[in-house]
Amino acid sequence: MKTIRFPHPLVLLVGFILLACLLSYVLPAGVFERHPDVATGRDVVVAGSYHRVPASPVSPLQALVDIPRGLIDAAAVIFLVFLAGGAFTVVDLTGALRRGVDWLLEKFRGREAVVIPIISVLFATMGALENMQEEIVPLVPVLLILMRRIGYPTITAAAVSIGSAAVGAAFSPLNPFQVGIAQKLAQLPLLSGGGFRLVFLLLALLIWIGGTVRHAQKHRVAPESAVSADPGALAAGRNHGIVLALLFGGFAFFAYGVLKLGWEFEQMAALFFTLGVVAGLVGGLGLTGTAEGFIAGFRDIAFSALLIGFARAIFVVLEQGQIVDTIVNSLSAPLAGLPAWVAALGMMGVHTALHLPVPSVSGQAVLTMPLLVPLSDLIGLSRQVTVLAYQYGAGLCELITPTNGALMAIVAACGVRFDEWWKFVLPLYLLLLALSAVAIVAGILVGV
């Protein structure tokens, strides 16, 4: 049987942009009324306000123009990836990262499989805390060096990073960009149902980490030497311990800034740029060596960063054609006549389908929760279960959708074709989806 083979990521995304253009001619244009929501600080839809508007199809020429518009819309994320990628290249040129990898391998010699759960839990924690995605892109080169030194396939680097972060975010009891916004819109106390979510988060991580370890062990090859795994391994540098301390200190400050200070992507980018400059100077690269390190990082990360903007252009086209609300309305309306537990599972399916045209989890919450919460009240479904359906449906879709720019960028940076990623991820995704269905039914039964 011939397996599905995806085209080049750039071809795939341009194809989706043109498909969105075609849909603007096929689907009727329509919008919901919106009003500012004080709790979330965002404009949210008014339930029952959907109405048709004059068609505004997007021409193929305009769709091509929307590509640079998508890049502009995603500029903050793209420049974060560029500056963080440059910073990590500088850190790598000091030799500190390779020293850290050597230390890690020495500590776990003969027990290399333990590395996967440790790294997976770290990324899952960041996913659960702050929906970490694009910030992972610059870390991929380091993860690739580690996996090659152990002898694991490069897809493992994507699995332990973006995969674990997506699972952590989808099942998180406190992710402010996902469950936090949804609970505010559903007028539920923040962190309510946290214990219930935590149980299923642990089960989900067992499934994901177990599947990742099994795949890595099954496809393990002879470990590469330090030089072959990392051609820059002989680069000169000094003060490796101080540089690594700066790196971990930077990560700690990054987490504090995001969680406590409400940092946007611009502040994150500034932090990574500063980290790169200081690390380069402390590590003995000098001003010129540090600047050259940034340039090398920009060059290496460019393709992955730009994929994020191309993915954003898909939503720009759909929004310009005024068909996003039409898609939301047509998918959510049939749920009204279903029994509560069937409607809850149907909501999860709706959120899964919607995540292709609306790849932002926070944007999807703002768009759908004001519609589905009144519906859940009418059919006697708990609002908490309604939030669970959104959380699992939209969050888990981050693992598979090609409109997720961060996923496309990280898989591409790992040198893995998207069809190879799908072959790896689909069995685990289906298991996690089944676990989500169990969680939703259990939530109805126990009355969360």
Per residue in 387-445, pLDDT (tens digit) is 999 999 999 999 999 888 889 889 988 999 999 999 999 999 999 999 999 999 999 99
* Domains held by the chain: number: 1
- Tens of pLDDT, residue by residue over 2-59, are 556 777 788 888 998 999 999 999 999 999 888 887 776 777 888 788 899 999 999 9
Domain assignment of residue 323, yes or no: no
Asked if residue 269 lies in contact with residue 41, where contact means CB atoms within 8 angstroms, the answer is no
Is-contact 151 157, C-beta < 8 A? no
* Between 173 and 100, residue with greater pLDDT: 173
Write the DSSP assignment of 31-73 as a string of letters.
E--EEEETTTTEEEEPTT--EE----PPPHHHHHHHHHHHHHH
Q: Is residue 373 part of a domain?
A: no
Task: Tell me if 380 is assigned to some domain.
Answer: no
Query: What residues make up the domain containing 204?
Result: 74-316
pTM: predicted TM-score of the whole model, two decimal places: 0.82
Residue with tokens 């699972």: 167
pLDDT reported for residue 234? 46
Question: How far is the C-alpha of 277 from the C-alpha of 129, rounded, in Å?
Answer: 28
User: Which has the closest alpha carbon to 199: 436, 416, 427, 26?
Assistant: 436
Residue 1 clears pLDDT 60, i.e. is over it: no
| Position 342, amino acid | V
User: Is residue 420 included in any domain, yes or no?
Assistant: no
The answer to whether residue 389 sits within a structural domain is no
Burial letters for 210-246: b for 16+ Cβ neighbours within 10 Å, e otherwise?
ebbbebbeeebeebeebeebbeebebebebbeebbeb
Strand 42-45 versus strand 34-37 pairing type? antiparallel
* Cα radius of gyration (the chain): 22
Q: Would residue 312 count as lying in a domain?
A: yes
Q: Which helix (H) or strand (E) holds 29?
A: none
Q: Cα separation of 290 and 319, whole Å?
A: 42
12 found inside a domain: no
